[in-house]
Homo-oligomer: A and B are copies of this chain.
Amino acid sequence: MTASPTDERIRKGDRTRRAILARATDIASLEGLEGLSIGRLATDLAISKSGVFAHFGSKEELQLAAIDAAVAIYRQRVVLPAQSEPSGLVRLWLLADGWLAYSRERVFPGGCFFFNAQAEFDARPGRVRDALATASSRWHDLLGKAAEDARCAGDTVADLDADQLVFEVIAFLEAANGTNLLHEDGRAYDRAATAIRSRLLNASTAPASLAPRLTPRGDLRDPAA
Contact = CB atoms under 8 A, between A and B. Distances in A.
Q: How many monomers of this protein are in the complex?
A: 2
Nearest to A188: B167
A183 B123 CA distance: 10
A191 interface: yes
A120 B178 CA distance: 10
Interface in A10-34: 29-32, 34
Interface stretch (A65-73, A107-115, A142-150): A107-115
Contact of A119 (B133, B170, B171, B178): B178
Contact-residue size bin, chain A (C-beta under 8 Å from the other chain)? 35 or more
Contacts of A194: 164
Given A119-B115, A120-B120, A172 B168 contact: yes
A221 interface: no
A164 B175 CA distance: 12
A35 interface: yes
A87 interface: no
Nearest to A191: B167
Contacts of A174: 171, 174-175, 178
A163 B191 contact: yes
A205 interface: no
A167 B195 contact: yes
Nearest to A194: B164
13 contacts: A110-B122, A115-B119, A116-B119, A119-B120, A120-B120, A122-B182, A136-B182, A164-B191, A170-B175, A171-B192, A171-B195, A174-B175, A174-B178
Interface of A: 29-32, 34-35, 109-111, 115-116, 118-120, 122-124, 129, 132-133, 136-137, 163-164, 167-168, 170-172, 174-175, 178-179, 181-183, 188, 191-192, 194-195
